[in-house]
Structure 1
Amino acid sequence: MRAVQITEFGGPEVLRLVELPDPVAKPGQLLIEVDAVGVNYADTHSVEDSYLSRSTLPLVPGGEVAGRTADGRRVVALTASGGYAERAVAWANMAHELPDEVSDGAALALVVQGLTAWNLLRTSARLAPGETVVVHAAAGGTGSLAVQLAKRFGAGRVIATASTEEKRRLALELGADAAVAADGEGLKERLLEANGGHRVDVVLEMTGGPVFDASLAALAPFGRLVAYGMASRTAPEPVAAASLMAHSRAVVGFWLMHVVGRPELHAKPMAELLELVARGELRTLTGEAYPMSEAARAHQDLRARRTTGKLVLDPRR
């Protein structure tokens, strides 16, 4: 089969299209004929071995696929790795059958980003009705869903950040009450101004560095910052316990792998998200569909913030 593999760690340039043997499903696993592959920012970290879990060479990246099982069922699945290929294996309990109304691209927008957005708000932030939520990278895969879900879950005000005016307009179309520039300098002041001069209750933060620091400074007493990424590849300043105590604020980490094996945090939310999309009540943003042979270009565009919505690889090209 055709697959994208790395044999050394590095940037997008180490991604190579190769021929590999078909994977073999173990007991409890499904072999999936892949129709579409989801691309996540975490993939760029895996390729350079800078993610939370260490990568092992040789590696076929990719944590999510949509396709068909041997018995013809159409599914979307979370995989440990191996997604950038014509065939992949996934544990059966991490695969979800797809309604006819949900496209492959829409399904792939949910299996990592949708579950992340749901758990950021429900599980980690424990959003309460009427609270103000800041969503960074609001035009991206997770952010665009988090904006919509925050409103659905009762947020009183949603403030989006994005890197361009076009992306900020999109966040407003998705339901954000305000949208501001994403860069770290002056960010605290822009967030407070967008919230009528008041501090904010919840921040969903995946950039790190100065954006993390400014977001923490903008939190109200009993506010929660949920950190779920470090796209800037810059660590924030260390957070002192005394500072958290002095302002009665919290920093919470989230990694999607911790929902695995917990149906209440994975299977039930996924069923809810699929139903919302099928009914037209949740909008997924489908970005560019790249040929699998151009996986390196997809990573380049993602790292350069040239993309909007969910990126997909087509294994047939």
Structure 2
Amino acid sequence: MRAVQITEFGGPEVVQVREVPEPVPSAGQILIDVARCGVNFSDTLLRENAYIAAATLPLIPGGEVVGRAPDGRRLAAMIPNGGYAERAVIPQDTAFAVPDGIDDVEAVALLAQGLTAWWLVNRTADVQPGDSVVVHAAAGGVGSLAVQLAKLRGAGRIIATAGTPQKRDLALELGADAAVDPATEDLAAALSEANDGRQVDVVMEMTGGRVTDQSLDALAPFGRLAFYGMASLIEPSKVSPRTLQRRSATVAGFWLMHAFAHPAVLHKAYAELATKVMAGDLRVVHGGDHPMSEVRRVHDELRNRRTTGKLVIDPAR
């Protein structure tokens, strides 16, 4: 079968389409024909062996897929790797049934991004009615969904950040009340100004460095910062206990892999997200449906933040 395989760590040039043996399912696994595979920022880190979990070569990247099982069921699942391929094995107990009203891009977008956004809003940050919420990278896969889910949960004011005017306009279309350029020199002041001069209750953050530090400065007493990624690998963050105490602030980290210890919650979350999409209450931003043969370009655009919404690759092309 055709698949993307990495045999050495490095830049986009190490990502190559090859002929590889078809995977063989073990007990508790299902072999599916992959219709689409999601592409995530974490894939570019994995390519460099810079992700949270260390990688072992050779490696077929891709942690989220949607496709058909031999019995015809349409399933979506997250897997450790192996998704950039024509066929993949998925775990039976954490495979999500995909309703007919959900297309392939939506089915994949509701996995890593959708479940992360759901957990951030409902659990980690615990957004309450009336809370002011900052969503960084609000035009991205997680951010675009988090803006909408926070609004549906009753957030009082949502402030989005995004790096271009087009991305900020998209965040406003999705329900944000204000949009800020994260490159603003005094970001803390800009966030407070966007919140009618008040400090904010919640920040959802995945950048790191200066953005994290200034987001903490923008928090109101008892504010919560939910940290779910680190796009800026070269900028260290300076989170001190004294800073947290001065604001009675909470900083929480979240990695979706830990949530798979709670499969019942994830199945409930996926079904809830799918229902909202079919009802028209939640919009998945399609970021591009690309042939697998163009995976190098997709990685380059994603890493350099030239994308919006959910990106997928089609193994058949």
Where on the TM-score scale, by shorter chain, does this alignment land: which range? over 0.9
Structure 2 CA distance for aligned equivalents of residues 272 and 289 of structure 1: 24
Structure 2 CA distance for aligned equivalents of residues 220 and 206 of structure 1: 19
Q: Secondary structure at the match of 2:84?
A: coil
Mapped contact 1:184–1:211 kept (Cα < 8 A) = no
Mapped contact 1:130–1:157 kept (Cα < 8 A) = yes
Aligned equivalent of 2:290: 290
Aligned equivalent of 2:197: 197
Aligned equivalent of 1:104: 104
Structure 2 CA distance for aligned equivalents of residues 228 and 117 of structure 1: 10
Aligned equivalent of 1:80: 80
Aligned equivalent of 2:71: 71
Structure 1 CA distance for aligned equivalents of residues 284 and 113 of structure 2: 10
Aligned equivalent of 1:251: 251
Mean alpha-carbon deviation: is it higher for 298-307 or for 177-186?
Answer: 177-186
Q: Partner amino acid for 2:269?
A: P
Aligned equivalent of 1:228: 228
Q: Secondary structure at the match of 1:203?
A: strand
Q: Secondary structure at the match of 1:105?
A: helix
Q: Partner amino acid for 1:108?
A: V
Quote how far apart the aligned CAs of 1:162 are: 0.6
Q: Secondary structure at the match of 2:67?
A: strand
Structure 1 CA distance for aligned equivalents of residues 219 and 234 of structure 2: 21
Quote how far apart the aligned CAs of 1:236 are: 3.1
Quote how far apart the aligned CAs of 1:184 are: 5.6
Map residues 178-189 of structure 1 onto 2, 5 A cutoff: 178-183=178-183, 185-189=185-189
Q: Partner amino acid for 1:168?
A: R
Quote how far apart the aligned CAs of 1:264 are: 4.2
Mean alpha-carbon deviation: is it higher for 278-287 or for 257-266?
Answer: 257-266
Unaligned runs of 5+ in 1: none
What is the number of residues matched between the two proteins? 317
Structure 2 CA distance for aligned equivalents of residues 250 and 97 of structure 1: 35
Aligned equivalent of 2:21: 21
Q: Secondary structure at the match of 2:257?
A: helix
Aligned equivalent of 2:133: 133
Mean alpha-carbon deviation: is it higher for 179-188 or for 145-154?
Answer: 179-188
Structure 2 CA distance for aligned equivalents of residues 311 and 191 of structure 1: 29
Structure 2 CA distance for aligned equivalents of residues 53 and 278 of structure 1: 34
Aligned equivalent of 1:142: 142
Q: Partner amino acid for 2:213?
A: D
Q: Partner amino acid for 2:17?
A: L
Mean alpha-carbon deviation: is it higher for 31-40 or for 175-184?
Answer: 175-184
**What is the percentage of aligned positions where both structures have the same residue?**
58
Structure 2 CA distance for aligned equivalents of residues 24 and 263 of structure 1: 24
Structure 2 CA distance for aligned equivalents of residues 120 and 237 of structure 1: 20
Mapped contact 1:201–1:219 kept (Cα < 8 A) = yes
Q: Secondary structure at the match of 2:111?
A: helix
Structure 2 CA distance for aligned equivalents of residues 264 and 73 of structure 1: 20
Aligned equivalent of 1:316: 316
Q: Partner amino acid for 1:75?
A: L
Shift of the 234–264 alpha-carbon distance from structure 1 to 2, 3 Å rule, reads farther
Q: Secondary structure at the match of 2:147?
A: helix
Structure 2 CA distance for aligned equivalents of residues 24 and 285 of structure 1: 34
Query: Do structure 1's residue 154 and structure 2's residue 158 form an aligned pair?
Result: no
Quote how far apart the aligned CAs of 1:12 are: 1.3
1:170-199 per-residue CA deviation (whole Å, 9 max, x = no partner) reads 111100010111226221111011001111
Quote how far apart the aligned CAs of 1:265 are: 3.3
Q: Partner amino acid for 2:298?
A: A
Structure 2 CA distance for aligned equivalents of residues 184 and 233 of structure 1: 19
Aligned equivalent of 1:270: 270
Structure 2 CA distance for aligned equivalents of residues 265 and 251 of structure 1: 23
Give TM-score scaled by structure 1 length: 0.98
Unaligned runs of 5+ in 2: none
Give TM-score scaled by structure 2 length: 0.98
Aligned equivalent of 1:211: 211
Mapped contact 1:86–1:316 kept (Cα < 8 A) = yes
Structure 2 CA distance for aligned equivalents of residues 247 and 153 of structure 1: 25
Q: Which portions of structure 1, spanning 4 or more consecutive aligned residues, are displaced by more than 3 angstroms?
A: none
Q: Partner amino acid for 1:107?
A: A
Structure 2 CA distance for aligned equivalents of residues 315 and 74 of structure 1: 16
Structure 2 CA distance for aligned equivalents of residues 235 and 265 of structure 1: 34
Mapped contact 1:172–1:179 kept (Cα < 8 A) = yes
